[in-house]
Amino acid sequence: LDNGDTFKFRKTYLDMHFYDQSTFYLSLKKDERLKLYDILRPNEMGDMFDTIEDELPEIPEFLDEMDVKYASKMLNYMYDDNAADVLEHMDKTHVDQFLSEMPTSDANNLRGLLHYDTETAGGIMTTDFVQFDQEITAGQAIKNLRQFAETAETIYYLYILDENKDLVGVMSLRDLIMQKSQTVLKTVMNTDLITVNVDDEQAEVAQVFRSYEFLACPVVDHSNKLVGIVTVDDVIEVIDDEAQQDYSGLAGVDVDESINDNPFKAASKRLPWLITLLLLSMITATLVNRYEGLLAQASILAVFISTITGTAGNAGTQSLAVAVRRLAIDEIDRSDFFKLLGKELLTGLFTGVVTGVSIFLLVGFWKHNFVLGLVIGLAMCAAITVANVAGSFIPMLMSRLGFDPAVASGPFISTLSDLTSVLIYFSIAGMFLQYFVGS
């Protein structure tokens, strides 16, 4: 690029995989990128931009530094779901500028895609798919396929429509090439259609791909018309995003922290969580404060505060994690709700009894004080049971109220469980005080 042999550069560059092209592009400085826009055609640029992660913060800058006509041609050449994803992150003035340079029908198409919620099937679908009339033959279809091969995101599934333009069948290219060329599509197409609705959550779409092992899946609107398809590459992104969200929720931090973020930026992302949880934990402190009299009489009680809060917090986190994963996989209806809560209560009770007996023995033998052991054991058992039920109830309730259950994070549950554990511990200790202090 630097030594000016444009022809040689073009050959080397275009022989690379699009992803390797994008790695190269992202390593360039601004003046080098400007040279590249001169050397490459908008469609060659578009192929590469199709593989760039659309959430990259630099993308609006890249488009700004291009000539408006060039950028808009490039966007038009890209698969429309990717172009829409890029435009999603730009301000309205720029979007309008780009769209005004495109042919009206393409611009309207993109406007339509921008209109869908990004986390639904509509938000991840492409309208660049292959459709045929059911009356044509396999031979015609293969011939016509060539014209689609330039623009369609996948040509490995053909969607087959009737005379009302309703989706009536699907065929894979694999099935198509097995047919005799005079066979009419409608006689061999697969009519057992699995579709997703344009408003379906992206997580549900991913579930369909997992079950049926599709490479693409048709998206229909409310009147059952085919409006687009979702392809498997977008589903992999969805699966990664969902996993990252769940993981971030459990950790109480957005784990999408760049390796290049400086320590202050990293800290500023983590602090809002920490300070919020700190304030919550101050409620626990005021609660312990009310028991200062008790502590003054039996300072031994302080020794086990962190054992009880820590263990109950761990149990609550376990219960939370199981519930969040379950909610991600299955829909839980009202009758299941109470059944699951009951199960979690029993699981908590059983876990609590085993852990309680363990700590009863540990403390009893260590301190030669089995009444103290009993206090700690009972408190542990009760605190674990409560933490288990809370860890399961809170995400299920949030999901029922329409919130993402993963937001009820691990640290939130364990901080909340500190509060209930301390309350339980000191209440029980207060009741037994005269027995274990004397002994």
Selected binder of its own copies within 28, 34, 267, 431 (CB under 8 A): 267
169 makes contact with its own copies (CB under 8 A):
no
64/240 with CB nearer its own copies: 240
255 makes contact with its own copies (CB under 8 A):
yes
Q: Are strands 130-133 and 157-161 parallel, antiparallel or unpaired?
A: parallel
Selected binder of its own copies within 28, 34, 275, 361 (CB under 8 A): 275
Site for its own copies in 136-155 (CB under 8 A): 142, 145-146, 149, 155
Selected binder of its own copies within 422, 424, 428, 429 (CB under 8 A): 422
307 makes contact with its own copies (CB under 8 A):
yes
331 makes contact with its own copies (CB under 8 A):
no
Site for its own copies in 51-80 (CB under 8 A): 51
Selected binder of its own copies within 96, 240, 361, 435 (CB under 8 A): 240
Selected binder of its own copies within 59, 74, 99, 235 (CB under 8 A): 235
Distance CA 129, CA 75 (A): 17
Q: Is the dihedral of CA 292, 293, 294, 295 positive or negative?
A: positive
Q: Which letter, b or e, does each residue of 84-123 get, where b requires 16 or more Cβ atoms within 10 Å of its Cβ? A: bbbbeebeeeebeebbeebeeebbebbeebbebeeebbbb
66/253 with CB nearer its own copies: 253
Q: Write the DSSP symbol of residue 262.
A: -
295 makes contact with its own copies (CB under 8 A):
yes
Selected binder of its own copies within 41, 89, 326, 400 (CB under 8 A): 326
How many residues sit close enough to its own copies to count as binding (CB under 8 A)? 110
Which tokens hold the place of 172?
Answer: 């894979």
Q: Write the DSSP symbol of residue 409.
A: -
- Going residue by residue from 355 to 394, which x/- string records binding to its own copies, judged by CB under 8 A? x--xx--x---------------------x----------
330 makes contact with its own copies (CB under 8 A):
yes
Helices and strands counted in the chain (H then E)? 22, 6
Residues 160, 171 contacting (CB under 8 angstroms): yes
Element (H, E) at 170: strand 167-172
Selected binder of its own copies within 98, 132, 209, 436 (CB under 8 A): 209
Residues 135, 141 contacting (CB under 8 angstroms): no
Residues 161, 179 contacting (CB under 8 angstroms): no
